[in-house]
Amino acid sequence: MTADALRVGLLLNGTSVPTWTRRALVDMLDRTDAEITCVVVNDDPDEPGLDHYIDRVREYPLWAPVGVVHTLLPAPDYATPASVDDLIGDARVVRCAPEPASDFGNVLPDDVVDDVADRADLFVRIGFGILKGAILDEPEHGVLSFHHVDLREYRGQPAGFWEHVNDEDAAGVTLQRLNETLDGGEIVAFEEVDLTDAHTYADVRRRLYAASEGMLTAGVRNVQDDDDPVTPDSLGTLYSLPEGRDVVRYLARNNVGRLKKLRS
């Protein structure tokens, strides 16, 4: 490790990550002086059980079958699991179970924060869900996290869904430095994504995740250069899984999009 290297820590649910995430990490390591110096692995990731899916069917009866179809289809290339063991090297690895925050989200145990906070100048959150607590403030440059939306326009889930249904010409991907407020942290990198000829929801998601792959590099450079981050003046509407009319709108728009692709 070089003396002036930026020390980066990873917060993971496991040592396999979506392919787009691995590509973002590789790009960062190739194009900056950042080095991965520690990794915190979630020993108790929240894996949904049968009760979770039953509750989803009850709460979102129209969307649940669509979600099942998406789950059964082969994962797109950007979402397939990819190991990061070779990127971690001899970095310090700590395993822990997160603790519930007092209101919502998760915090890391105090002893884990004490162990890793001085081992990294910034952390990248890839696991642990909504993260709060001391880990956000201890590293010099905080904790960075991806959001596959423009937080000033749209928030929540599913990523890219509402922009697609609302026939937006563009969407965005945000790399944010987290704070205690939901989606209220500083924006350290942003990429606008053209959707004018993205005919299906799959097209939208593919473009969002492709745009992500170089953004960690941009965000690392920005925090190293002390570029002024953007604090959003306001945040977009917080969306959740679609219900009723919005599911019908999605199915109609997606089917029309498929026809357009067949004709082009």
Q: Which residue has the higher pLDDT, 105 or 72?
A: 105
- Whether the pLDDT of residue 46 is over 80: the answer is no
Q: What average pLDDT is seen over the chain?
A: 91
- Lowest-confidence region among 7-11, 43-47, 232-236: 43-47
Report the Cα–Cα distance between both ends of the chain, in Å, rounded. Answer: 51
The most confident of 26-35, 230-239, 254-263, by mean pLDDT? 26-35
Assigned CATH for 7-263: 3.40.50.12230
- Whether the pLDDT of residue 53 is over 70: the answer is no
**Mean per-residue pLDDT, 113-123:** 95
pLDDT tens column, 98-109: 999 999 999 999
pLDDT of residue 3: 61
- Whether the pLDDT of residue 90 is over 90: the answer is yes
pLDDT tens column, 186-215: 999 999 999 999 999 999 999 999 999 999
pLDDT of residue 259: 87
* Residue in this structure with the two tokens 């989606």, named with its chain if needed: 183
The answer to whether the Cα torsion of 98, 101, 104, 107 is positive or negative is negative
Q: Please list the alpha-helical segments (H only) found in 73-109.
A: 85-88
- Whether the pLDDT of residue 252 is over 60: the answer is yes
Domain ranges within the chain, ordered by starting residue? 7-263
pLDDT of residue 60: 81
Q: Which residue has the higher pLDDT, 69 or 49?
A: 69
The whole-angstrom separation of Cα 179 and Cα 186 is 8
The whole-angstrom separation of Cα 47 and Cα 12 is 14
Q: Do 160 and 148 touch, CB atoms closer than 8 A?
A: yes
Amino acid (1-letter code) at residue 25? L
Q: Residue 111 — φ and ψ, nearest 5°? A: -65, -30
pLDDT of residue 68: 74
Q: Do 208 and 171 touch, CB atoms closer than 8 A?
A: yes
Instruction: Express as a percent the part of the chain with pLDDT over 70.
Output: 95
Distances in whole angstroms, Cα of residue 75 to Cα of each of 56, 72, 158, 220, 262: 21, 8, 16, 29, 22
pLDDT of residue 123: 98
From the CA atom positions of the chain, what is the Rg in Å? 19
Beta strands in the chain (DSSP E): 7-12, 16-18, 35-42, 81-83, 92-96, 99-100, 106-107, 122-125, 131-132, 143-147, 154-156, 170-177, 186-194, 237-239
- Whether the pLDDT of residue 50 is over 60: the answer is no
Q: Which residue has the higher pLDDT, 27 or 53?
A: 27
Q: Please list the alpha-helical segments (H only) found in 97-214.
A: 110-116, 161-165, 201-212
Cβ contacts of residue 259 below 8 Å, gap of 6+? none
Instruction: State the pLDDT confidence band at 250, using cuts at 50, 70 and 90.
Output: very high
Total residue length of the chain: 264
135 closest CA partner among 152, 156, 112: 112
